[in-house]
Amino acid sequence: MDSLPPLAPGTELELTPDRLAFGGPALARVGGLVVFVDRALPGQRLKVQITRRRRRYLEARIVQVLQQSPHYSPPFCRHFGVCGGCSWQHLAYPEQVRWKGRHLEEVLAHLGRVAPREFLPPVPSPRERCYRNKMTFAFAPGGPGEGRFILGLHRGDHPQEIFALEECHLLGPAALELVLQLREICRRLGLGAYDPRTGQGMLHSLVVREGQRTGQTLLHLITAGKAPPQGLTQLAEELRRHAPRLTTLAHSHHPGRPPARILFGPGCLEEELAGLRLCISPDSFLQPNTEAAELLYNAIAERGEFTGGEVVWDLYCGAGGIALALAPQARQVVGFELSSRAVADARANARRNRVDDCRFVAGDLARTLGAALREPSLPRPQVIIADPPRAGLHPAVVALLQELAPRRLILVSCHPATLARDLERLSGPYEVETAQAFDFFPHTPHLEALVTLRRR
């Protein structure tokens, strides 16, 4: 290693990454230091340039690919390399799935010091493209030749910047066409993007939801600025006239995001999942990959070892998908959720699907769980399922889980690091039985995890 040049920013050198780090970049070692190379693949021989030096690691960018990885797959989107989304698009899909399973094992071991009795093989997404039922796009003031705004996604190299979207292979073609159609109508009406530097303009972001099995679509436009949004009525009329595939148009204001108001349509999106027909409001949560979610629901039902006599509590239940799917296998299911709008959806979904043995509780989870713990008329659960947001379980919720002491815990997580932390907190009274990665997000480093625990 004495022949190596000083590893300062700007230095060029050759290296071969041998693994993918959790989060996406490839990893190599040079002169006793770890080098992270964005968008590189294991097995590539690369000429790279050091871009940043830290005490324990270096960051580098690719200058030239000298020899290609055997697992390389040609990117299929024109925005690859600019978009911050599909950073693994150039990696063959079976390798993506394999690395996600490996990353789950490593994160649980290193961050949570957790060794499940069994790691089950990672589950691939049934669809590799057009798999998302929900996406969020951002507006930004346009540059020279771009008009009053651009509509797109965040850049990978400069996440605070937005690039103009022309294609995307995560949404279905009909949903993407609606997004581009709304963009053109907004331009025709002279609407502008909100600029936080000046406070001018109004267009902030756009959420599109698609019922992949119902053909329904919902657009949720978010505006910003102090002035009342102008042109919404005309925009709604134009969309109603020229976008027959659009089922519901909703609007809300940023910041604060009060409940969305419906400009036209029934106000929710219907989707079929696990034998259920679910109605999802603009602000309610549903797993963003419908077909992968169905595989996850089936795995939860299998690993719950239900006999039909259990009381099941479903924490962070959203619009009730998991709770309602499990209801036929349990005596009673109780769902807990912070969002009152989502709980209203869950109750309506129970009625729609004629499920009588489900009830749903709205409110802060630590408070509602504590109240349920003291309620003598509510049977204690034998199984608890929790699907928290990225921040994981609040410490107060962990303490309540330990007090409730169900015989089984089933945790679903979209963030392995916080999952590892929560498992470490629960590993005293509980043994971690199985862990499994599910790929909800092909061509990205993100993964969903399912972990089962049994009371010791």
Q: Which residues are catalytic?
A: 414
Are the beta carbons of 105 and 432 closer than 8 angstroms? Answer: no
CB atoms within 10 A of CB 367: 11
The type of residue at 185 is: I
Q: How many helices (H) and strands (E) does the chain have?
A: 9, 23
Burial of 193 (0-12, 13-18, 19+ CB in 10 A): buried
- Show Cβ contacts of residue 237 under 8 Å, excluding neighbours closer than 6 positions: none
Separation CA 314–CA 130 (nearest Å): 29
- Show Cβ contacts of residue 323 under 8 Å, excluding neighbours closer than 6 positions: 312, 314, 317, 333, 334, 335, 346, 358, 360
Radius of gyration of the chain (CA): 24
Are the beta carbons of 281 and 267 closer than 8 angstroms? Answer: yes
Bond into 255 cis (ω within 30):
yes
Largest CA distance in the chain: 75
β-pairing, 57-67 vs 149-154, is unpaired
Nearest Cα to Cα of residue 331 among 348, 356, 351: 356
β-pairing, 408-413 vs 383-386, is parallel
Distances (CA, A) of 208 to 2, 177, 235, 421, 446: 55, 11, 16, 33, 20
Beta strands in 274-321 (DSSP E): 276-280, 311-315
